[in-house]
Structure 1
């Protein structure tokens, strides 16, 4: 799905950038241009980045807390 319409950045693009070594929202933003124009996509972009980095660092481990 498209996350940033202004720069045509998809969730897959963000995941690929993280897989190639980006480890922060700043790095993803610099490499993709996501959220650099109108900024409405920033929250979603950050969330996708956070999830992709966690997946890269911890694999498919269940990161939720048991109640």
Structure 2
């Protein structure tokens, strides 16, 4: 689905950018130009970034404190 209509950015592209290391809205804006025109997509893009970050953290193996 399109998240940013202005720049034709899809949810898949945002997820892929997150998987490749994007960790902030600034990263997404730099890589994909999402939320750089009208800004209506900023909240959705941020939510997707947050969800991807949580998923990435949850995938990390648990390591006990030494």
- TM-score, normalising length from structure 2? 0.82
Give the alignment of 1:51-62 within 5 angstroms: 51-59=51-59
RMSD (Å), alpha carbons:
0.9
Give the alignment of 1:18-29 within 5 angstroms: 18-29=18-29
Q: Partners in 2 of 1:19 and 1:37 — Cα distance? A: 24
- TM-score, normalising length from structure 1? 0.81
Computing the radius of gyration from Cα coordinates, the structure with the larger value is 2
Count, aligned residues: 59
Gaps of 5+ in 1: 60-67
